[in-house]
Copies of this chain bind each other. A is one copy, B any other.
Amino acid sequence: MEPKNRLNEDVDQVNDTIARVRRRGGRLKDQQVTLAHGAGGKASASLLQHVFFDEYGNDLLAQGGDSTLMDLDLQGGKLAFSTDSYVVNPIEFPGGSIGELAINGTVNDLAVAGAVPKYISVAFILEEGLDIETLRRIVLRLKEASDKAGVAIATGDTKVVPKGKGDKLYITTAGVGVVPADRVPGFARVAPGDRLLVSGPIADHGMSVMMARGDLAIDAPIESDSREVASLVAALLDAVPDTRWMRDATRGGVATVMNELAETTGLGVVLEDEAIPVRPMTRAACDMLGIDPLYVANEGTFIAVVPEAQAEEALAAVQQAGAPEARLIGRIVEKPEACVVLVTAFGGTRMVDKLVGDPLPRIC
Interface string of A162-181 (1 = CB under 8 A from B): 10111100101010110100
The complex places the Cα of A79 from the Cα of B69 at a distance, in Å, of: 6
A350 within 8 A of B: no
Interface residues of A in 151-194 (CB under 8 A from B): 154-157, 159-162, 164-167, 170, 172, 174, 176-177, 179, 184, 187
CB-contact partner of A355 in B42, B295, B356, under 8 A? B42
Identify the closest chain B residue to A174 (Cβ): B174
Q: Are B170 and A167 in contact (CB-based, < 8 A)?
A: no
CB-contact partner of A361 in B38, B110, B123, under 8 A? B38
Q: Are B40 and A110 in contact (CB-based, < 8 A)?
A: no
A295 neighbours in B (Cβ, 8 Å): 41
A45 neighbours in B (Cβ, 8 Å): 354
A237 within 8 A of B: no
Q: Are B358 and A87 in contact (CB-based, < 8 A)?
A: no
The complex places the Cα of A165 from the Cα of B247 at a distance, in Å, of: 30
Identify the closest chain B residue to A175 (Cβ): B67
Q: Are B81 and A70 in contact (CB-based, < 8 A)?
A: yes
A59 within 8 A of B: no
With most chain B CB atoms within 10 A of its CB, the pick from A122, A172, A356 is A172
Q: Are B41 and A354 in contact (CB-based, < 8 A)?
A: yes
CB-contact partner of A119 in B81, B86, B161, B358, under 8 A? B81
Q: Which of A12-20, A24-32, A249-257, A317-325 contacts B (4 or more CB under 8 A)?
A: A249-257
The complex places the Cα of A295 from the Cα of B44 at a distance, in Å, of: 14
CB-contact partner of A80 in B67, B82, B123, B165, under 8 A? B67
A123 neighbours in B (Cβ, 8 Å): 83-85, 172, 174
A347 within 8 A of B: no
Q: Are B83 and A179 in contact (CB-based, < 8 A)?
A: no
A310 within 8 A of B: no
A264 within 8 A of B: yes
A170 neighbours in B (Cβ, 8 Å): 125, 159, 161, 170
A56 within 8 A of B: no
Identify the closest chain B residue to A255 (Cβ): B41
A39 within 8 A of B: yes
Q: Are A358 and B256 in contact (CB-based, < 8 A)?
A: no
Interface residues of A in 37-69 (CB under 8 A from B): 38-45, 64-69
The complex places the Cα of A124 from the Cα of B85 at a distance, in Å, of: 7
A361 neighbours in B (Cβ, 8 Å): 35, 38-39, 160, 162
A360 within 8 A of B: yes
Q: List A residues at the B interface (Cβ < 8 Å).
A: 34-36, 38-45, 64-72, 74, 78-87, 109-110, 112-115, 119, 121-125, 154-157, 159-162, 164-167, 170, 172, 174, 176-177, 179, 184, 187, 247-248, 250-252, 256, 260, 264, 295, 297, 354-362
